[in-house]
Structure 1
Amino acid sequence: MRIHDALISASRFAASRWQAARLEGREEEKRLWPQVNEYRAFIGETGQVYLFEDYLRGIPPTPRPHASLAFDVSKDATSYKVMRLLLKAFDEAPEPEQKQSVIVLINLVNFIADTEQLAAVEDYINNRLDYAPLAIAHFTTRDEAEAWLKGLAEPPSPARILIGDEYYLAWSSREENVRGIYRDYIIEPYIEELAARGIPPSTPAFETRAEAEGWLKNHPASPFDFVSIAGEHYLAVHHKRLMRHTLHPVASALTEWAETKRAAERERAQGAAEETEEGGE
């Protein structure tokens, strides 16, 4: 099974166990199962899926999976509770397919512990709503980004990056031996929602971008704030992990986002029409 398919199956298993815990009133399990999926999301958004696949290949088969010795060092209480929950789920799983999903989840948590990322994943989970959408790297030009992606021995699978002020998705397929970069409209829905609430009339105003960037260094957005540059409104987005801000012109971003949504709707309508025609043949 491909690693992405294995993670999807494991995620579905975790969702089914959360649903069972919710219906049966098992409060701690109801709280911990969503955290299991947050670990999976962390690995996905940081582009470590293939690194995790390599980690799995190095684990010898055993009758029963076990917790990494790294937990004895980290003393991370929440992750330890998650591991106990997963080991219990393995023992209780009646079907081999379910046990395999639990093995993937156990080793996912072990991978995070063994690569000393328990603190990072806790930060990701606890502050996810306070951070901008995660980007793992920033480049000034697309040529720089493509050179970086081409030169990586283990490219992300996938992960978001920033090129200038725009989000892109850097991706690779180990199975097909291809990689690429395409535009990712992840910040535009935020701009749309925040602008709909109303841009404050007293936004900080600057004559140049350099002035705005200098001010933001000492007054970081948390994680979004509107500023005005030469009379035009921008959404300043603070990328805490990259220690920088991006600036998104509100008017043009909303126009581009509206055009993107219309194009997606046309594609959906065309696809539905083609399915209807095929069904009538």
Structure 2
Amino acid sequence: MQVKIHDALAETAILIASRRQAANLKGLAEEEKLWLYLRTLSYFVNVTGQVYRFEDALEEMGDVGQRYVSARMSAHTNTCAQQAVELLLNSLSETPSPEQQHVLVLVALINFIADTGQVDEVEDFFNHLLDLAPVTVAHFISHEEAEAWLKGSAEPPSPARILIGDEYYQFWYEREDNTRGMCLDYAIEPALEALTARGIPSQRPSFATRAEAEAWLMSHPANPYSFVEIAGEHYFAVHHPRLKRHSLHHVASALNAWEERKKVVEREAALEATAPSDGASE
């Protein structure tokens, strides 16, 4: 089956939003939770860079294959995944024909998660989503190391965030023309701005060196953020459980960079608003 994966996932997002709203209006809290789970499931596949892996699995399944429930689901009874796939299959008979394909893509998505052994991870991701910092899939010491990995990988996970040192980067790979790249991503600055606006806690761990702070954070992980002091300076610790590490962001420097970024965005928006539209007379 030929399918453009990004289009397919966009269509499922519309379906999920509609069904979730309907469940909410009917007071069906448990069903609404399952539609929220399905939205989170799609988000998980995106932020962990598995979109093309899922596209390949979807192609292998085909139209008939999408109707089955993975045999590996039998080990995950009473999970959101098991309940969601039952909800989807039970809803097929009441789903208009044009939308049935979107339902089956969601069934295939659950099967993909089960077949790749990720049910428990997604379950935990769903239950603790609000306790997670923006997800990163890899860490590199330098730009050169990150670029070598990006260029050398036959098919890197995409789209996804990575860490270079303590900085977030968004990177992408497009299978259709093999283009790939990355750019600085201000992923945690909004949270840092909001938390510092309330005031940095007066009671915070203090360390003489970064190594001491990192050692302490390994046994006292941030959930997902925490302020620490290193050599008299304020730092924002961000927990990355998938990488088993913390990034440490110098508070003053990060906030200054964020203010500069917001100014750039404002200038670009102003220029776009005043630019003549296509076909306008000169």
Taking structure 2 as the reference length, the TM-score comes to: 0.93
1:65 corresponds to:
67
Match of 1:261 in 2: 262
Of residues 210-219 and 103-112 in structure 1, the stretch that sits farther from structure 2 once superposed is 210-219
Q: How far apart, CA to CA, are the structure 2 residues paired with 1:231 and 1:222?
A: 23
| Correspondence for 2:140 | 139
Give the unaligned 5+ runs of structure 1: none
Name the CA distance, whole Å, in 2 between partners of 1:167 and 1:64.
36
- Alpha carbons of structure 1 residues 63 and 189: separation in structure 2 relative to 1, 3 Å: closer
Letter matched to residue 4 of structure 1: H
Q: Which residue number in structure 2 is paired with residue 95 of structure 1?
A: 97
- Counterpart in 2 of 1:56? 58
Question: SS at 1:58's partner residue?
Answer: helix
Pairwise CA distance, 1:55: 0.3
Q: 1:49 to 1:116 in 2, by over 3 A?
A: same
- What is the Cα deviation at residue 60 of structure 1? 3.3
Question: In the alignment, is the contact (CA less than 8 A) between 1:235 and 1:248 conserved in 2?
Answer: yes
Instruction: Tell me if the contact between 2:66 and 2:105 (Cα under 8 Å) persists in the aligned partners.
Output: no
Q: Superposition pairs for residues 181-192 of structure 1, below 5 Å?
A: 181-192=182-193
Partner of 2:107: 106
Residues 140 and 79 (structure 1 numbering): CA distance in 2 closer, same or farther, change over 3 Å? same
- Structure 1 pair 233–9 and aligned structure 2 pair: CA distance change class (3 A): same
1:12 to partner: Cα distance? 0.6
User: Deviation digits for residues 23-51 of structure 1, max 9, x if unmatched?
Assistant: 23333222211111111011001000000
Amino acid across the alignment from 2:214: E
Q: Does structure 2 conserve the Cα–Cα contact (< 8 Å) formed by 1:172 and 1:179?
A: yes
Q: Relative to structure 1, is the Cα distance of residues 188 and 103 closer, same or farther in structure 2, using a 3 angstrom cutoff? A: same
State the AA in 2 paired with 1:212.
Answer: A
- Cα distance in 1 for residues equivalent to 2:244 and 2:250: 20
Task: Determine the C-alpha separation between the residues in 2 that align with 1:260 and 1:63.
Answer: 47
- CA pair 179-147 structure 1, distance change in 2 beyond 3 A: same
Q: Percent identity?
A: 52
Tell me the C-alpha RMSD between the 2 structures: 1.7
Q: Secondary structure at the match of 1:61?
A: helix
Task: Tell me what 1:47 maps to.
Answer: 49
Tell me how far 1:63 sits from its aligned partner.
Answer: 9.2
- Is residue 2:205 matched to residue 1:200? no
The runs of 4+ residues in structure 1 deviating greater than 3 Å are 276-281
AA aligned to 1:129 is L
Number of the residue aligned with 1:13: 15
After superposition, where does 1:201-220 map in structure 2 within 5 Å? 201-220=202-221
1:123 and 2:155 are equivalent in the alignment: no
Count of residues in Structure 1 that have an aligned counterpart in Structure 2: 279
Offset from partner CA, 1:209-240 (integer Å, 9 cap, x none): 22222332333222211111222111111212
Q: Structure 1 residues 277, 59: closer, same or farther in 2, change over 3 A?
A: closer
Higher mean displacement: 112-121 or 233-242: 233-242
Mapped contact 1:76–1:118 kept (Cα < 8 A): no
How far residue 88 of structure 1 moved from its aligned partner, in angstroms, is 2.0
Once the 2 structures are TM-superposed, how far is the Cα of residue 200 of structure 1 from its aligned partner?
1.4
- Provide, for residues 233-274 of structure 1, a one-character-per-residue CA deviation record: whole Å limited to 9, x for no partner: 111112122111111011110010011111111111211212
The aligned residue for residue 172 of structure 2 is: 171
Structure 1 partner of 2:271: 270
Unaligned runs of 5+ in 2: none
TM-score by length of 1: 0.93
TM-aligned CA deviation for residue 154 of structure 1: 2.4
SS at match of 2:222: coil
Residues 79-108 of structure 1: per-residue CA shift (max 9 Å, x gap): 111001111222211132x11111111100
Partner of 1:243: 244
- Please, which moves more after superposition, 191-200 or 208-217? 208-217
Deviation at 1:64, TM superposition (A): 7.4
User: Is residue 36 of structure 2 the alignment partner of residue 34 of structure 1?
Assistant: yes
Counterpart Cα distance in 1 of 2:26 and 2:211: 57
